[in-house]
Amino acid sequence: MRLQQLGLRLHTHAGNPFYDINSGHHGYMAVSAQDIVIAIRGSGEADDWRNNMRITQQAHWCAGHVHGGFALAARGITKAIKNVLEYKPELYHQKLLWLTGHSSGGSVAILAAQELAAEGISVAGIYTYGAPKVGDSAYAYNYTLQMQLHAYAALGDFVPLLPPIWVVRNRRGFRVQRYVHIVPPRLLVGNTVSIRAALNYLANSRLSFMERIVGALIEFSPHSLNAYIANLK
């Protein structure tokens, strides 16, 4: 669905699209007369995947522990979002702020929303699609925007089950890391694969053979963004 059909328009001034160089995550901001929608992109490049693998938890200022890579991305994305909002404040004054993201972009959106709220920027809602878990049970229990968070997972998508239970070594010995969802994802049942998107990946001559194969497998799977779009129509 095009932005115009939703009454939104993409602003292309300085800082939008915004980008966090440390994690590789980036996103876009679109506005309407009443709303600001920030969409954070999921994994797509090598930097994104490297950041996803930083699964060692780190303490969070709110409570508990969170995914180290997602926390890194959220800090950079939050700063970038604030820069965009402050660039032309008259464009965004008194509008509702919404965050959304697919895959790891959804996880980063969850963390970034809390960072923004802590700095006095009200968040109307967060919508995630196929997002991995963000932190442990203590963080989930104390997350301040539970009522605004809406999570969705497609039938057969394994990514929302990640990260797995993980054992890490620290000064005291070993610690078991467990991740939980802040709110249980709502299950989407319907179109779970995208054959057309997979074929487009295979036909992309700009990619290496291995990139085509891996990309096609991802696009054909229920985790594909195209599969989620089809489920939501």
Single-letter code of the amino acid located at 8: L
Is 19 exposed, middle or buried, given 0-12, 13-18 or 19+ CB atoms closer than 10 A? middle
Q: In sequence order, which ranges of the chain are alpha helices (DSSP H)? A: 46-52, 68-87, 89-92, 104-118, 137-142, 195-202, 209-220, 225-232
Largest Cα–Cα separation, the chain: 56
Cα–Cα distance measured from residue 40 to residue 208, given in angstroms and rounded to the nearest whole number: 26
- Better-predicted residue by pLDDT, 1 or 165: 165
The full set of domains in the chain, from first to last, is 3-189 (3.40.50.1820), 190-233 (no CATH)
Q: Are 111 and 134 in contact (CB under 8 A)?
A: yes
Query: At residue 8, does pLDDT exceed 50?
Result: yes
Band of pLDDT at residue 47, cut at 50, 70 and 90: very low
Out of 32-46, 135-149, 173-187, give the one with best mean pLDDT: 135-149
- Given this model, what pLDDT does residue 168 score? 73
Cα–Cα distance measured from residue 170 to residue 164, given in angstroms and rounded to the nearest whole number: 18
- Given this model, what pLDDT does residue 132 score? 94
Cα–Cα distance measured from residue 10 to residue 32, given in angstroms and rounded to the nearest whole number: 9
- Given this model, what pLDDT does residue 232 score? 78
Mean pLDDT of the chain: 82
Peptide bond connecting 132 to the previous residue in cis, omega within 30 degrees of 0 = no
Q: How many CB atoms lie within 10 A of CB 21?
A: 10
Which residue has tokens 């249980």?
184
According to DSSP, residue 17 is labeled S
- pLDDT, one tens digit per residue, over 120-179 is 999 999 999 999 999 999 999 999 999 999 999 998 888 899 898 877 777 777 778 899
Cα–Cα distance measured from residue 108 to residue 77, given in angstroms and rounded to the nearest whole number: 8
